[in-house]
Amino acid sequence: MPSSLYIGLMSGTSLDGVDAVLAHINNKGTKVRAHLHHPFSATVRRQLERLCSPGHNEIYELGIAETQLTECYAAIVEALLAEAKISASQVAAIGCHGQTLRHHPELGFSLQANNPGALAARTGITVISDFRRADIALGGEGAPLVPRFHLHQFASKNHNKAVLNLGGIANISLLTENSLSLGFDTGPANTLLDAWCYQHTEKYYDNNGDWAASGNLLPTLLEKMLSDPYFALSPPKSTGREYFNLTWLESFLQGNELPADVQHTLAHLTLQSVLKAIPKHNVEELIICGGGAYNNFLINLFKEALAPDTRVSTSAEYGLPPEQVEAAAFAWLAWAHINKVSGNSPQVTGASKELVLGGLYYG
């Protein structure tokens, strides 16, 4: 019998490090057995940040970054196996997305730094990777990749839900009972909050959203940011830090704003861009996951803004802590590839048909 154990690896647009899960997966659901997080070193983080925008000698720098990432991925897989007390031979496959550097589906490509062949050789485990390319070839956005997993994990009969991932970029999946009605990137979340926080406090993130809570709303700034054409686009749509970054933010600033007020307003930007996605749908529950689920200030904004009868929860209430959801999604995508289950949804990405996602690299 094939193994039902899969490893999922995720290093997202927040560039904070690698999350890894070991999960038991079948048709009924995904249950995480072990989870680890390894932060990126300052060197790796800077390298990846540089590659997210045009620079000198990019092809060479990409090669170096992929080698560094392979080391990070292999190290966390080894540690995860030790944590779970199992051998590599007991794992069916690793789902490894790589690190997204440039996402331009309108130009026909999305680039992830990754070396899945080297990772398979290092770990001795089959690796499934390159999840976006086939969807883009069929006219899709290649993103977001998690809505089918959200359907698999959180849908329930007679209950309409929205699953909101607050990662570097926020994405939402709208679940109408047991079907996936829509999913797309709503706009920036942690990528701007973290970058602005680091620039002014030298802390990589705003713990609990306390710094944002200390500031005041700048209505004119919020209005200007929300006027960006991306927010008015109809789905399918997707984006990344190559679009929403400090350069984008600074184009709206006068230069005399208090930094805490800007941080406060950025939280409202995330809130308002998500709220635009919800009114047309009868959402009874908003399930929040990703690192932003621990931003108490932002979560309270959602609770205050949504209708009183809309329940706000986190994925932890469904047995999956918020920081594990994306890595679990890539474990599921590896499972879907091995079991020939479609990983994309045309109503989400805009691709012309459903298809099995990813390429296979034998360990």
DSSP β-ladder status, 169-176 and 160-166: antiparallel
pLDDT tens sequence across 311-321: 999 999 999 99
Q: Is the pLDDT of residue 1 over 60?
A: no
C-alpha of 173 from chain center = 12
- What is the rounded average pLDDT for all residues in the chain? 95
Mean pLDDT over residues 32-37, rounded?
98
Q: What is the pLDDT of residue 282?
A: 78
Per-residue confidence (pLDDT) for residue 167, from 0 to 100: 95
Length of the chain: 363
Closest CA to 99 of 28, 163, 49, 170: 49
What is the average per-residue pLDDT within 213-232?
A: 98
Range list for CATH 3.30.420.40 in the chain: 5-143+324-361, 147-318
Of 315, 334, 340, 291, the closest CA to residue 97 belongs to 334
pLDDT value, residue 139: 97
Q: 142-151, 207-216, 271-280: which range is least confident on average?
A: 271-280
Rounded-to-integer distance, Cα 351 and Cα 356, Å: 12
Task: Collect all residues with Cβ–Cβ distance below 8 Å to 207 and sequence separation of at least 6.
Answer: none
Summarize the confidence of residues 225-236 as an average pLDDT: 96
Is the bond preceding 105 in cis, omega lying within 30 degrees of 0? no
pLDDT band at 13 (very low <50, low <70, confident <90, very high): confident
pLDDT tens-digit readout, 113-166: 999 999 999 999 999 999 999 999 999 999 999 999 999 999 988 889 999 999
- % residues pLDDT > 70 (the chain): 99
Q: What pLDDT was estimated at residue 6?
A: 98
Is residue 281's pLDDT more than 80? no
Cα–Cα nearest to 102, from 241, 248, 229: 241
The third-level CATH classification (topology) of the domain covering 147-318 is Nucleotidyltransferase; domain 5 (3.30.420)
In the predicted structure, residue 279 carries a pLDDT above the cut 90: no
Class of domain 5-143+324-361: alpha beta
C-alpha–C-alpha distance, residues 132 and 140, integer Å: 9
Q: What's the rounded mean pLDDT across residues 301-322?
A: 94
Q: Any idea which of 95-109, 203-217, 269-283 has the lowest mean pLDDT?
A: 269-283
Query: What's residue 343's pLDDT?
Result: 97
Q: How many CB atoms lie within 10 A of CB 230?
A: 17
